[in-house]
Amino acid sequence: MQFSTVTVLAVLAATASAKRCINATVPVNLPARQAIFNLAVPQTNLEATDFILNMTQQGRNFTDVVLTGYNTTVGTYNIGTQFCMPSNDNNTNPTVQVLTHGIGSTRRKSMGILAQQ
């Protein structure tokens, strides 16, 4: 069975339009504890090799050697959210999808976690 591109796009557009969505921004206050290291960024191949040898030496905690302390950064971050409900409500078997985006800041490509109530 062969479908044309137009037919597939029309079906996808109809499916996508059969929902009601709410966009919201949720402010979140978060602290982040960050380690402070007394270590320069390697500039040469020799320095990069020394760094790898220091990090992989058995019986030595190189992280502890170069650690000078910790810094706590506190900030308010705005998390963009979108909640979509199908136009034809299914009260007998409700389903909620929790979608999170990857590294990028766009919500176009989402990874879904399906949860049924």
Over the stretch 20-57, which tens digit does the pLDDT of each residue have? 788 888 899 999 999 999 999 999 999 999 999 999 99
Name the domain count of the chain: 1
If one compares 47 and 12, the residue with the highest pLDDT of the two is 47
Specify if 9 maps to a domain.
Answer: no
From the list 84, 92, 83, the residue with the least C-alpha distance to 117 is: 92
CA dihedral 90, 91, 93, 94 (to 10 degrees): 80
Specify if 2 maps to a domain.
Answer: no
pLDDT for 61? 94
Specify if 97 maps to a domain.
Answer: yes
pLDDT for 114? 46
What percent of the chain has pLDDT above 90? 40
If one compares 111 and 39, the residue with the highest pLDDT of the two is 39
Is 78's pLDDT higher than 80? Answer: yes
Distance from the Cα of residue 64 to its chain's centroid = 29
Specify if 5 maps to a domain.
Answer: no
Specify if 13 maps to a domain.
Answer: no
Specify if 4 maps to a domain.
Answer: no
Q: Whole-prediction pTM value?
A: 0.45
The two three-digit tokens of residue 38, written as one number? 């007394």
pLDDT band at 117 (very low <50, low <70, confident <90, very high): very low
pLDDT for 116? 43
Give residue 76's domain range.
Answer: 19-116
